[in-house]
Every structure is written in structure tokens, then in C-alpha cells.
Structure 1
Amino acid sequence: MVCPYTWDVPGGVMAHVRDLAEALIADGHHVSVLAPASDDAPLPFYVTSAGRAIPVPYNGSVARLAFGFLSANRVRKWLREGRFDVLHVHEPAVPSVGLLACWAARGPIVATFHASFQRSRAMSVSAPVLHTALEKITGRIAVSDAARKTLVEHLGGDAVLIPNGVTVSRYAEAEPLDGWGPDGGVIGFLGRMDEPRKGLPVLLEAFTKLAPERPGVRLLIAGPGDASDVLAKVPPSLRDRVGVLGMVSEQEKARAYHSVDVFCAPNTHGESFGIVLAEAMAAGAAVLASDIPAFRKVLGEGQAGALFVTGDAASLAREAATLLDDPACRARLAAEARLAVRKYDWSTVARDVVRVYETVTATAVGGVEEEQQGRGLGSDDLAEPAARVPEGARTRGGDPL
């Protein structure tokens, strides 16, 4: 399995790859994961480093990718030594090790597409280059209708729909964090604090509207980013009511979900599923989310969580106030969420992925092999990232992570 994004920084695709790998291993399969990672990064036994990552602006975020001679050599070595029955590449259109793996391999190849976006100049410019890799894929998976639509419109072809998974048992039970609720007034957020599309500025604005009239309202924030930058956006008189945890472990994350009365996902765009929603639902939190299509679907159009107008701080504040004032409504949403999230448990999702593996290997002659030199990965494909990434998706300063 190949993860295009660095293993060093938590993210939706990385979490998907990690949890799928662990679910497959638990079912008795042999799994090896190749991913970008720093040389000194602590890695699970099943992960092999493809080399350090470089930050690249991509799809409204900053993706940390690996692409170059070192990564290409590690891809080939990993393929030679692995002798895999099937190669599963995540986000093969992203200029990282997944794309390199498609170029370097032949045989049964499955690809999972995660991203959702309206237009991509970079994708359009690079389409001819991508085609040489994507034409090798024998099975395609999309994690959501939005991701499937993006695939069809930008790259062509179709995919079977298999949603993101969540390890429900990991979040079902946990003790609240010391000093936190739920006490009827805690609103929670988890995501990259410095990434605008995750919507934290919208939540902070809504909090400044709610807090003056509600002395008991507090805000608990977790995720990568600078705490001082976050607190600078909050009036000084309210800062002691905002807790910023920074990056948290899986155990702390579960405790954070159990420390809030309302979990808020104020994301503004670019989400094809919403794994944080599934995690919060598994924890039995009352969810309040922006009404982007992906979130509406996960929450059953409001059945398993409340919705507010995307990007509208006043709408968020009104809906949060309604939930905080109505414990019965929060309990009902939490109960609906626990039921709705069961279909996303990895015990179900992993079985569907294995069926795709079985389909692509049933008609294949042999397993995954390294492509002969000169046919797949050529010297022009091994240029450093800043030279190969299409215009509009340049590296940010070229500095390594």
C-alpha cells in the first residue's frame, strides 16, 4: 500500500491508510506501507520510508510529498523485495510516491481516490503525464460521491464507492481530559489550525458572539498549528476560556471527543468525506457541521448531526446555542450518530476493499512486478519536486519538512 503524504503529520489520507493496513493485518493479511517520512520518524513495523517530504500547496492545503531520485529508488527496491499480490496506491494523481509506484510497477494495481475539488489547473496541465501511470490501474475506489465525481470529471473512468473507515471501538469509550467537560458548555474543534478551509476562523468568530452572553461556554481546540496565532484572534477577555491542545495522540484525541458537549466541524470546502465527523460520531458526540455536501451525507442530512450555513459565523453561533440549551436534542443526535457510524467501521469497510483486491487478482497472471527500465519510470520523471510539480502547485520555499 502506498500513502502519498508524509507519515510524520496526521491527515485524513494517512489515517485512512494506517487504519486500513491495521484492519487488514488483524484479518491475517500481510501488509506493507510505503510513505514519505523523516529519517528519524518513529514508524510502525509495517511502514517503509520513501524519503523525506517537501511541502507543496495542493487542493487548498499544504501537502507534504516525496518525489525524486531517492524516492524512486526506494519505490523500486520496495516493489522488488515485497513480491506483492496487489499494489494499492492512494491518490495516484498526486505528484508523490503513489504516482512513482504506478510508473514503476506492473500487475494488479488498485487506486483509492480521496480528493474533491471543482477545478484544478494543475490536474489539467499534468493530465498527459498522469495518463501513463493511471492507465495501469486495474481497480478504482472512491471514498465518496464527491471524490468519484472529481475522478470522472478530471481523469475519466469510474470507481466503486467504498467510504472512509473509522475504528469505532477506538473512540467509543474514553475519559474526558482533565479540567474539561462535558458540562453543558464545551464546544470542540479538531483539525489543522492554520489551514483556512478547516474553518477555525469561522468557529472563533462564532465563539466571540456566543461567549459574552454565556459565561459557561468554553472552546477546546486540537490539531497542528500555532496556539499563539489562534489565541491572538480571540478577544483578551475570552482567552482564558479557550484551550489549545496542539497536535494530539490517538488516545488524547478520543479523550477530546469525550470532553465536549458539541463537536464542531466548520470546514468550508475541499472535503470529500469528513473523517473527524465519523470519529466524533463514534465517540457519541453531538455534531454540528457546515452544510457542505460531504458532511450532509455523512450526517444523514441532519439526522445524525446538526448543520449550519457554511462559512456563516452567525449561523454557527445560533445552532451551537440551540444545542447547548437542549441536552435532550444533544442526546438524540449522539444516539443517532452511534448508529449511523457503524457502517463506516473498518470491520465492514476493509472487507469491501478486499473484494476489490480479489477482483483484480482473479484475472491477473502473477503478482506485482517491477516495470522494466525504460517502460515505466524514465529519467525525465525523476526530476526534483519543484521542477516536476505543475504550475500552480509549486513547493513552498523548497524547504524540507
Structure 2
Amino acid sequence: MSQYVGRLGRRSPAAPSRLRLHRRPRRVAMLSVHTSPLHQPGTGDAGGMNVYIVELAQRLAAINIEVEIFTRATSGDLPPTVQLAPGVLVRHVDAGPYEGLAKEDLPAQLCAFTHGVMQAWAGHRPGHYDLVHSHYWLSGHVGWLAAQRWGVPLVHAMHTMAKVKNANLADGDTPEPAARVIGETQIVAAADRLIANTAEEADELVRHYAADLAKVAVVHPGVNLDRFRPFPQGMFPGDPGALGPGDAQAARSAARARLGLPQDALIPLFAGRIQPLKAPDVLLRAVAVLLDTRPELRPNIVVPVVGGPSGSGLAKPEGLQKLAARLGIADVVRFRPPVGQEQLADWFRAASVLVMPSYSESFGLVAIEAQAAGTPVLAAAVGGLPVAVRDGVTGFLVQGHHPGAYARVLGRFADEPSLSGRMGAAAARHAQSFGWDTAAAATADVYTAATQSHRRRVRSQHG
């Protein structure tokens, strides 16, 4: 995975299986305070992290690591527990009012959430949980307390970092508060292991938060290769990694027919949460620049925006529609609400290119999903996107957020209709190395290393 993983003291392949099983946790308490794995990605605070938690938990269960996911109840109708999959249980914790709480209001509810987690633990025999894996800084604070109380290791995944986001703010976006920076610094110091999506994120943990490099492991997120593939399952018997340009074009044509989209159109797609951080406005401005310079393209371009308002975007939920009208491109933009994973895969297949002009991305899971579906990606060269996208091979990376730079690349896709098929075939091959099974196995190794170091630390304290 990375140079950082080697610092975890990973087992050699010849290590006895009995030793591996002894050191691997049997049951993990996974914490996701602010967003439920059961929520629809693409709106509110639900996004790539939701997909990450669901897919990782299922793959961990498949290798005999049970996962119980604690999340905040957002409705009084929710059952206390939901069996998400064999070996994966979601626990709904009452903490604050069910509805109307923004993510920024949740720090005040962490005591109540921690109480709910402790209540669930108190109903079990000692040693029920072998490890805590927290996601995002809010969960990290609960995980810190729970791990200390239970005497087990804490593994934490940041997903995003306040200092990194504040250094890359979109115009008009709200900076992350100082309380979050302090909270993240405390979690970095407390965790037995920190999981970073990329080597760059690992560097940022060390540079911005003084993380101990020996505690940082790089594990690339995965993609559901059964769901995100150029053709829906059963429609193409071959290996997606062996897809040719003609196959990619045929997959695109079939998806457009299913979605009622024009066969020969240039279709640059935005899919995700609508907020300044994700910069969907850059795509709209780029399309406006393109059509200003090349008005003959207007009859042959469709710009789908699939997603819902989120974060600071909630303050102006109609802002993007109004921008399209001001730019004079409302006739070519199609706004669609968030969709389920199966239909999202079809939107990826149908697109000429997925456009991700984000100001910050810890990894950019959507970029890998689109590529697995056989679609190239046009993205900002930020965060993990240079890892997710092979510039010039599976898509294009743009420095900065100037609409003209994105318009030039869109013009290339308009001028070279075969470019989507050629790059899409390469993208499908590239994505094959990002399966969730690989990510789960690497995460299990991190758990093992965290358990070992935790035991050494406990022995030294009592020694």
C-alpha cells in the first residue's frame, strides 16, 4: 500500500495462522456519530464516508471480524438495532433531538452519545469489544473515551481534517472552528493507529498534527467492483479489466438508453453533495465558458448534476440552479436528486466524463467508482485525487479551479468522441486494483498492529 504501512510491523507471510488469529480482533466497535451508514449518500452529511463504512464493515465481517456500528438516531421510528449484513450490526444511539441538528451542533451531544455507547457495552460480558475504530473527529472523541474505559486499542480515520480544509476553502465557504482543530489534535495523540487514505494524507497528519509516523498506516479505500462496472452484472461476461474502447462505448450507449439521454451528446457529470467544497459551480462556469466560445455545441451537451445540498450549501439550496440561470445554461443543466448505488453506477456509465473540481478530497471515492464503471474523470489535482486518477491515462487533473482550464478539457472530449471510450477502458483496468477486499485485509493488519502496540504499552505501564 505505502511506505507507511511497513512501519506497522506487519507479519511476514509465513507467520503461523494460529498467531494471526490470536492477534486479530474478533469484534470491533465502529463509531460514526454524525452520519448513519443507512443514509442515502449524496445529500445532507451522507457521502463517501457512509459508503466507506458500509463496504469496509461487510468485508471485515467476511473475514470473521464482527462489526457493530454506533450512529446517532435521527428518527424516533428507528429500531435500536438493524442487522446490515451477516456480522454487521448498526446500533442507533439517542443523543439530542432526532431532527434539525446540524453537524456543527453535534459536539454538544457527544456526552449523550458516549452514554449510549457505554450502556450498550454494559449489557455485555467483559471483553465484548476488542477494538474501537472511529470515523471523523466527532466519533474520535467518543472512541477515545470508550477505548480507555474498555482497555482496548483505538484506531481512527480522519476522512477530512480541519487544517487541510481551511487551507483550501472555496469562495464563501465557512472555515472549520478552532474547537475541531483542538479535538483532532487530541485524537491524533490518543489513537493507537491512524488510518490515512493516501501517503499525502499521512504527510498532512504528521505536518499539521504532529502525528507519530510509526502510528500512521495508509490504506486506500476500495470500490464495489460488482456494482460499479462498465456493464450491469450479467450483461457482459468478460473481465472489466480487459475492457476495450469499443466495449466502453457500447456500455455508455446502453446506459444512455436506459436513462433517456441523447446518444451522441457530450455529457459531463457532477455527482455528489452540493456544497462549495465540492465546487459544482466550477463545472457550470466551465460549461458557460465552453458554450460562449463554441455556441455550436449547445444542442449537443447535457450537464447532469446528481446530488443534494449539504454542509454550507444548505444555506442556499437553490444557489446552483440560480447560477445556471445567471450563466445562461439552465437549458442544458439537469438537476437530479441523490440516487441509490445501482442507479448511480448507470449515471457514471452514461457520462462522457465525471467532473470533480473539489477544493479538498481526502481520497475521492466517487472518482474510483466512475472509473470502475468505465468513465474517465476530470478532477482538481488536490488531496487523494492524483492517486485515484492517472493523469492523461484514465482522466485529466487540473491545477486550480479556473473554469477556463476545465472548459479546455471538456472541449477535447467534444472534439474527440473516441476519447471517452479509450480513457474509459483504461479507467476500468485501473480501478480493478481498488477492491474493498484488499482494503479490508489491510485494515485488519492495522487492527493487528494496533492490538500489539496497545498490549506492549499496557505491559510497560504495569511493568
**Shorter-chain TM-score: which interval?**
0.7 to 0.9
Q: How does 1:61-140 map to 2 (within 5 A)?
A: 67-81=109-123, 83-91=128-136, 94=137, 96-105=138-147, 106-116=151-161, 117-118=163-164, 134-140=188-194
> What is the aligned partner in structure 1 of residue 200 from structure 2?
146
Q: Aligned pair 1:274/2:364, yes or no?
A: yes
Which residue pairs with 2:91 in the alignment? 48
* 1:367-397 per-position Cα deviation (integer Å, ceiling 9, x unaligned): xxxxxxxxxxxxxxxxxxxxxxxxxxxxxxx
Question: Does the 8 Å contact 2:32/2:71 carry over to 1?
Answer: yes
Matched, 1:312 2:402: yes
8 A Cα contact 1:109 1:139, kept in partner: yes
Task: Find the aligned partners of 1:66 and 1:325 in 2 and give their Cα distance.
Answer: 54
CA contact (8 A) 2:131 2:152 kept: yes
Q: Residues 139 and 346 from structure 1, CA distance in 2 versus in 1: closer, same or farther, beyond 3 angstroms? A: same
CA distance in 2, matches of 1:171, 1:181: 22
Distance 2:383 2:195 in 1: 19
Q: Residue 103 of structure 1 contacts residue 133 of structure 1 at CA under 8 Å; is this kept in 2?
A: no
Partner of 1:217: 301
Q: Which residue is 1:290 aligned to?
A: 380
**Larger helix percent:** 2
> What SS does structure 2 have at the residue aligned with 1:302?
coil
Distance 1:222 1:66 in 2: 32
Aligned partner letter, 1:87: V
Q: What is the identity, as a one-letter code, of the residue corresponding to 2:156?
A: A
Report the CA distance shift for 1:64/1:301 in structure 2 as closer, same or farther (over 3 A).
Answer: farther
- Per-residue CA deviation, residues 250-309 of structure 1 (Å, 9 max, x unaligned), is 122111111211111111x22121111011111111211122253223212332211234
Question: Is the Cα–Cα contact under 8 Å of residues 180 and 260 in structure 1 kept in the other structure?
Answer: no
Aligned position for 1:263: 354
How far, CA to CA, are the matches of 1:44 and 1:204 in structure 2?
Answer: 41
Q: Which residue of 1 aligns with 2:336?
A: 245
Deviation per CA, 1:288-345: give whole Å up to 9, x if none. 1122253223212332211234211111111011013213322221122112212221
Give me the whole-angstrom Cα distance separating, in 1, the residues matched to 2:438 and 2:384. 20
Amino acid at match of 2:134: V
**Counterpart AA for 1:17:** I
SS of equivalent to 2:67: coil
- 1:375 alignment counterpart: none
SS in 2 for 1:314: helix
Pick one of 23, 26, 35 that aligns with 2:59. Answer: 23
Cα pair 1:273 1:294 within 8 Å, conserved: yes
TM-score by length of 1: 0.79
Counterparts of residues 339-378 of structure 1 (less than 5 Å): 339-362=429-452
**Structure with higher RCO (Cα < 8 A, 6+ apart):** 1
Give yes or no for contact 1:75–1:97 (8 Å, CA) kept in 2.
no
SS at match of 2:66: coil
- Tell me how large the CA RMSD over aligned residues is: 3.0
244, 259, 268: which one pairs with 1:187?
A: 268
Give the counterpart letter for 1:169 in structure 2.
D
1:321 corresponds to: 411
Larger radius of gyration: 2
Determine helix, strand or coil for the equivalent of 2:305.
Answer: strand
Distance 2:427 2:349 in 1: 14
Amino acid at match of 1:48: R
Partner deviation per Cα, 1:66-112 (whole Å, 9 max, x = no partner): 73332121121233446112211123xx2x23311211323122122
The reply on whether 1:204 has 2:284 as its aligned counterpart is yes
For 1:272, what is the secondary structure of its paired residue?
coil
The answer (yes or no) to whether the contact 2:266–2:413 under 8 Å persists in 1 is no
Please say if residues 283 and 338 of structure 1, whose CA atoms lie closer than 8 Å, have aligned partners that are also in contact.
Answer: yes
- Confirm or deny: 8 A CA contact 1:171 1:282 kept in the other structure: yes
Matched position secondary structure for 2:70: strand
Aligned residues of 2:413 and 2:420 also touching (Cα < 8 A): yes
Partner of 1:169: 226
The DSSP-based 3-state class of the residue aligned with 2:370 is helix
The count of residues paired between Structure 1 and Structure 2 equals 357
In structure 2, distance between residues paired with 1:270 and 1:320: 21
Are the equivalent residues in 2 in contact too, given 1:183–1:261 (CA < 8 A)?
A: no
Task: Report the residue type matching 2:280 in the other structure.
Answer: L
User: 2:390 touches 2:396 (CA, 8 Å); kept in 1?
Assistant: no
Which amino acid letter does the alignment assign opposite residue 216 of structure 1? N
Q: Which amino acid aligns with 2:49?
A: V
Instruction: Give the CA deviation at 1:138.
Output: 1.9
| Preserved CA contact (<8 Å) 1:35 1:49 | yes
Cα distance in 2 between the residues matched to 1:127 and 1:362? 29
Cα distance 1:160–1:97, how it changes in 2: closer, same or farther (>3 A)?
closer
Does the Cα contact within 8 Å between 2:219 and 2:439 map onto a contact in 1? yes
Conservation of the 8 A alpha-carbon contact between 1:303 and 1:336: yes
- Consecutive unaligned residues of structure 2, counting only runs of 5 or more, are 1-29, 40-44, 168-174, 233-254, 310-315, 457-463
Q: How far is the alpha carbon of 1:132 from its aligned partner?
A: 5.8
In the alignment, structure 1 segments of 5+ residues that lack a partner are 58-62, 367-401
